[in-house]
A and B are shown apart, each in its own frame.
Chain A
Amino acid sequence: MNITLGNYYPADSILHRLDPRVKLLAALTVMIVIFFLNSPLTLLLFALGLIAGIAASRVPFKLVLRSVRPVIFIATFAFLINIFMTPGTELWSLGPLTITQQGLLVGIKMALRLFFLIMTTTLLMTLTTTPLEMADAIESLLRPLEKIRFPSHELAMMMSIALRFVPTLADETARIMKAQSSRGADFDTGGLIKRAKGLVTVLVPLFVSAFKRAEELALAMESRCYRGGSGRTKLRELKLRPSDRWGGAVLILICAALLLIEYMVPLGWFGLA
């Protein structure tokens, strides 16, 4: 079994080469900024920016679109709540349910924001960044916190080991489930309690083996002279190149411009009020 975490899409593009720390910070900024965007114009501009970003990343458009799948339910829910619950000019009504013009607009904007949010963060953080780069970025960004004894190295090491063992444990789970199936275990039918009981036969061996692996891994790490983060060098040191600074600056400027348009520019200018 081959599990690729987070659906990294291997390609060579500006976005792929961008320093993961820049991408991580940009994704966080976008997360905040997008909730301040309320006018159709800024949302449209955002969409255009997103499309340009996807084009620059060389990731197939379909893949980015697919990332919204998990939030479709929530988006639909938010959309429905908003169109029915917002007071305003009535468009259509049936019994107690009334759809208003304002509600429709708010609902659409709500759903769009959610989709944009997911698509942007997926593009920046998972499609163009490997989990390992992300772990490095988090370690590097948290390093200043070491002054207050925050274990940023340990945290990054834990993340990286977790990443390393996901495929191993997934294989192991599949193997144990097969072995128990051969002994008559049934994981597919029966009620919730019956299935939960069946899972015990998988979880106990899985935990036992995970502990054994942890013990052996600790020994292997010690044998290779691991003594925590102090005095350690790194093969891949994250280095901020000029292009990364430029990339970061561009992303911040885009966000700032969007906010500026949202709050400073009278919509009447574009006949969109």
Chain B
Amino acid sequence: MTSQAAQLKYEPGQTIIEIEGLSFSYEPDQPEAPNALNGVDLEVKAGTHLAILGRNGSGKSTLARLIDALELPLSGRIRVDGIEAVDDETSYMVRRRCGLVFQNPDNQIIGTTVEEDVAFGPENLGIPNPELRDRVDTALAIVGLSEYAQRPPAQLSGGMKQKLAIAGIMAMQPRVLILDEATSMLDPFSRRDFMELVQKLNREEKLTVLNITHNMEEAMAADFVVVMHEGKILLRGRPEQIFAHAAEIIDAGLDVPAHAAIAHLLSKELNLPICPEEAASFTGAINTVTRLMCTAAEREDTANGPASPADPIVSGSAVFAGEIIVEVEDLSYTYNPNTPGATEALHEVNLQVRRGEVLGIMGHSGSGKSTLVQHLNGLIRPQTGSVRVLGFNTRLNKEIRELRRMVGLVFQYPEHQLFADSVFADIAYGPKRLGLSEAEVERRVYAAAEIVGFDPDILQRSPFELSGGQKRRAAMAGVIAMEPEVLILDEPAAGLDPAGREEILGYVRELAHKGRTIILVSHNMEDLARFADRLLVMKDGRSLFLGTTDEVFSRVDILAAAGLEKPRTAQFMEALAEEHPDWPIGTNAYSVEAAVRMIRQAGVPKPAERRSAVTKPQVER
């Protein structure tokens, strides 16, 4: 780029970030409050792509802020590019060497146009024109947003906004790019696109990348991984070294890649040792699984292989015979009709949902999912076509109020709608609006609180002092307390860490077991595949496919057209089946548990494969 960048050029392998004994507390005056960081040591070489994993509250974001000199350490030291931030001037010097992309795209855009926003950083550095203009244009070209230079940022998609954030940083010509869960609000397509950009910058611009993430794919793509837990570094190493410690990682409330999880669970169930390093890689996990099954068969000396559990495997082929309670016919909807800004959000969508069913709706941002579900409780009235829910016609005003008690809608990030001074009052708002008696309102609040796992004493607290996950649950309880027949959830687990995600989805599962009809909107294939009986695939406002989960995931063409991927577990099972063509193994496994069950039911891999696979497993540790 320019001369300034040249001066800062680094020999690869040189240390760029040096952290020694770093501790930090948000409440330094209160010694009993736990430190956000507790004795962290870390050394990052220039040009490295480092992934940082950890639960929400484990200190990852705090670490990012300290590296960017937005906070100063309580004790210990950090040096970035040889500079230790101790005062305003040195903090400024560190900040111009680090760029930080935050989680929420909307809260980091300062400019009123795309170009203005990119210019913000270099303007602060006092870069004069024409270099300033040159830097802005170059940065926009790097991230591929040149044609949007004059647009207001509000017109960009979430993925584009995050790329804009990167452009704003690149224009400052930094040495280090820090991503603080920057992809967590993006759909899978934008996420891949965004990460490709990050990889490119890492490779071509020799930018050091620190990526704080919950996504396992991103972690596998990094050079090094650090796992944080309770303000300390729990594990560090290359991805395959890290995921060898699957058990520890799961204990810390985090995910491991599906293939490693399957290998570890199988090893646990069969009570046989595995080589964790091998199971950490995709192909290694295939070998591991094969070997485990062969060893188990030899040990038990039965032709049928290890006993298979009796639970039915199928999760995605239940056919519901209940009455049809949601009926959408030829529904089309256009925002701002008859104006130049008219956009068609739905095009002739047809859909039927039966009582007690769990329907998943999947598709990218802007595919029409949210517009569709807002029709189901009358928030949006049909323009053409019709929507009938539980016998109510959503075209008719007087039926809408009645309808809204029957259909509960939990919006994305529902915690943003909390308003009352106590959790109790917030949950009680909906039931009260239904005109129920005091006793009935109270009963419903307690029932809803129980479903989301709240102790009664939390109900008296202010919703604003709860943790992120608790807020989410409180907001969900507010809708559950209305005891709707149909519950619609829009990305209920978005932005949570893996453990929080499982918890929220657990409550959804519980409601499904109670016979509630559930419509789950998500772009997370794993979640949908595990929960839904049927799936609706949306693209560009059209319903691309509606069928059972198995049907949808067997249609590679449909998934490709919608830009979606099979769940990782199913991908692994397919690779396994491909490796052993004669092994009668099912591939429609959408959870780790289902995958292990299927492997055990398939019995022993055929002899041809068996010979190659019977090398003794190396037992480690």
Contacts and interface: CB of A to CB of B under 8 A. Distances in A.
Contact of B110 (A175, A183, A217): A217
A39 interface: no
Contact of B124 (A182, A202, A232): A232
Contacts of A234: 119, 123
A160 interface: yes
B123 A235 contact: yes
Contact of B479 (A171, A175, A178, A183): A183
Given A161-B110, A205-B417, A219-B70, A235 B409 contact: no
Contacts of B99: 223-224
A109 to B, nearest CB: 37
Contacts of B123: 232-235
A142 to B, nearest CB: 18
A209 B419 CA distance: 11
B126 A231 contact: yes
Nearest to A215: B107
Given A219-B70, A223-B68, A223-B95, A209 B127 contact: no
A93 interface: no
Interface string A138-162: 0000000000000000000000110
Contact of B102 (A168, A171, A219): A219
Given A181-B404, A232-B123, A235-B116, A223 B100 contact: yes
B102 A2 contact: no
Interface residues of B, number: 67
A90 interface: no
Nearest to A235: B119
A246 B420 CA distance: 59
A205 B128 contact: no
Contacts of A178: 374, 379, 411
A221 B113 CA distance: 16
Interface stretch (B148-156, B181-189, B493-501, B582-590): B148-156
A6 B414 CA distance: 32
Contact of B107 (A181, A213, A225): A213
Interface in B68-106: 68, 70, 92, 95-96, 98-100, 102, 104, 106
Nearest to B431: A184
Contacts of B226: none
B129 A201 contact: no
B285 interface: no
B337 to A, nearest CB: 14
Contact of B108 (A172, A184, A185, A220): A220
B479 A225 contact: no
A196 interface: no
A197 B130 CA distance: 54
Interface in A38-90: none
A225 B95 contact: yes
Interface in B400-416: 401, 404-405, 408-409, 411, 414, 416
Nearest to B125: A225
Given A217-B107, A235-B119, A208 B464 contact: yes
Contacts of B408: 182
A232 B65 CA distance: 24
B157 interface: no
A233 B430 CA distance: 52
B132 interface: yes
Contacts of B409: 179, 182
A224 B172 contact: yes
A236 B419 CA distance: 42
A225 B121 contact: yes
B379 A224 contact: no
B419 A200 contact: yes
Given A164-B112, A183-B430, A205-B418, A235 B136 contact: yes
Contact of A168 (B65, B154, B404): B154
A183 B431 CA distance: 8
Measured as residues with beta carbon below 8 angstroms from the partner, the interface class of chain A is: 35 or more
Interface string A106-140: 00000000000000000000000001100100000
A222 interface: yes
A219 B107 CA distance: 9
B430 A184 contact: yes
B478 interface: yes
B45 interface: no
A186 B119 CA distance: 44
Contacts of B124: 224-227, 232
A186 B429 CA distance: 12
Contact of A2 (B155, B172, B419): B155
A167 interface: yes
B419 A183 contact: no
Contacts of A202: 419
A204 interface: yes
B221 to A, nearest CB: 25
B276 interface: no
Contacts of B108: 216-217, 220
A176 interface: yes
A235 B433 contact: no
A233 B411 contact: no
A183 B109 contact: no
Interface in B364-386: 374, 377, 379
Contacts of B155: 2
B65 to A, nearest CB: 8
A254 interface: no
A202 B417 CA distance: 8
B70 A223 contact: yes
Contact of B132 (A171, A184, A186, A233): A233
Nearest to B153: A164
Contacts of A102: none
A259 to B, nearest CB: 37
Contacts of A226: 120, 124
A164 B109 CA distance: 8
A252 interface: no
A47 B115 CA distance: 39
Contact of B112 (A163, A179, A180, A208): A163
Given A232-B124, A235-B133, A209 B416 contact: yes
B437 to A, nearest CB: 16
B8 to A, nearest CB: 15
A183 B482 contact: yes
Contacts of B121: 224-225
11 contacts: A163-B112, A164-B112, A168-B154, A175-B411, A182-B379, A182-B409, A204-B420, A205-B419, A209-B416, A224-B124, A237-B129
Interface of A: 2, 131-132, 135, 160-161, 163-164, 167-168, 171-172, 175-176, 178-186, 200-202, 204-205, 208-209, 212-213, 216-217, 219-227, 231-237
- In the A-B complex, the 4 residue pairs with the closest CB atoms: A184-B433, A235-B119, A220-B108, A204-B419
Given A164-B153, A179-B417, A182-B404, 15 more contacts: A160-B112, A176-B417, A182-B408, A184-B401, A184-B434, A208-B416, A209-B416, A213-B104, A219-B65, A225-B92, A233-B126, A233-B132, A234-B119, A235-B136, A236-B116
